[in-house]
Amino acid sequence: MKLIIQPDSGVAPIVTAIKQAKKTIDILIFRLDRYEIARALGEAVTRGVHVRALTAHQNRGGTKGLRKLEMRLLEMGVTVSRTADDLIRYHGKMMILDSRVLHVYGFNFTGLDIEKSRSFGLVTKNDKLIKEAMKLFEADFERQPYIPGYDRFVVSPENARERLVNFIKGARKELLIYDPQVTDDAMLRLLTERIKAGVDVKIIGKVEAKWNINGEKYPGKRLHIRAMIRDGKRGFLGSQSLRRLELEKRREVGVVITDEKVIGEMQAVFEHDWAQTESGRKERKKEKKAEKKEVKQLAKAS
């Protein structure tokens, strides 16, 4: 399992993965404006790879750009299907290569998300995650119902609320959260309970004002990731925020992570970002003050 960190990693991990595919590529697209990715998909078709693209029926920019993208992909020889309109949006982002590698992204295939935003992506060869992702892709590609079968694969609206409630409930000491919009009352009530239980909850992103939970503004250019790190032992990465719309009304895709190396990398990035927030600077100031006091006490004792 590997972590993609944006904007550091850039487009290379995606393009490289497409170039390495031998037989099949299944890709779920909400937005795409990076020419390198589209070109790599076309080149894959040319060398005999069966490429299927599942495009969203709409996004915030409307349908004109998506229909233009569909025509471009079709001209390249990509098999294209459009998601159904039964959900408000199909906002998930993932790619499956040769039925043996799964990519799940928090970012879209756009210059804004990849080059100017803090975000994560995950690359895994976990058989159960891959099989579940393939099942979801096939269901949505053919516009058939999807029934969840693996609890580490988090899909809105089918099982996301249940899985993320359980994830948050499991926090005992610390819960680190990246989320642009935390507004769901049930989730915020649960976070409040965890705080009262002594869990150190830190959020980079916006929190609905009526709740007495502080959310720190991301100190960089732009935040476009939904991720959590629990007690340094479990992680979550996906496209669903802790808000009702993304938990219950849209197609979103995420993964619960158990890989210690990946979780450690996610935590290191969060702590780096947190240190630059207003609360992070205050915490460091207190730590330095406490360190100076301890040094003085040791000097007196000696």
What string of pLDDT tens digits covers the 302 residues of the chain?
999 999 999 999 999 999 999 999 999 999 999 999 999 999 999 999 999 999 988 777 667 778 888 899 999 999 999 888 888 888 999 999 999 999 999 999 999 999 999 999 999 999 999 999 999 999 999 999 999 999 999 999 999 999 999 999 999 999 999 999 999 999 999 999 999 999 999 999 999 989 989 999 999 999 999 999 999 999 999 999 999 999 999 999 999 999 999 999 999 999 999 999 999 999 988 888 888 888 878 878 77
Strand partners, 250: 89
What is the DSSP-derived secondary structure letter of residue 31? Answer: -
Angle at which helix 260-275 crosses helix 278-301, to 10 degrees, equals: 90
Contacts of 136 (CB under 8 A, 6+ apart): 146, 153, 155, 253
Q: What is the predicted pLDDT for the residue at 109? A: 95
The ranges assigned to domains in the chain are: 2-151, 155-281
Work out the angle at residue 132's Cα, subtended by the Cα atoms of residues 126 and 135, and round it to the nearest 5 degrees: 140
Please give the C-alpha separations between residue 233 and each of 61, 164, 253, in angstroms, as whole numbers.
38, 15, 21
The CATH class given to the 2-151 domain equals alpha beta
Quick check: pTM over 0.85? yes
C-beta atoms surrounding 256 within 10 Å? 21
Of 101, 93, 100, 119, the C-alpha closest to 37 is 93
Contacts of 116 (CB under 8 A, 6+ apart): 7, 221, 222
* Dist. CA 2–CA 122, nearest whole Å: 6
Q: What is the predicted pLDDT for the residue at 62? A: 65
Q: Which two tokens stand for residue 228?
A: 């959590």
* Dist. CA 133–CA 185, nearest whole Å: 29
What is the DSSP-derived secondary structure letter of residue 77? Answer: T
Same CATH topology for 2-151 and 155-281? yes
* Dist. CA 166–CA 80, nearest whole Å: 36
Contacts of 197 (CB under 8 A, 6+ apart): none
* Dist. CA 250–CA 227, nearest whole Å: 18
Contacts of 85 (CB under 8 A, 6+ apart): 57, 58
| Domain 155-281 belongs in CATH node 3.30.870.10 | yes
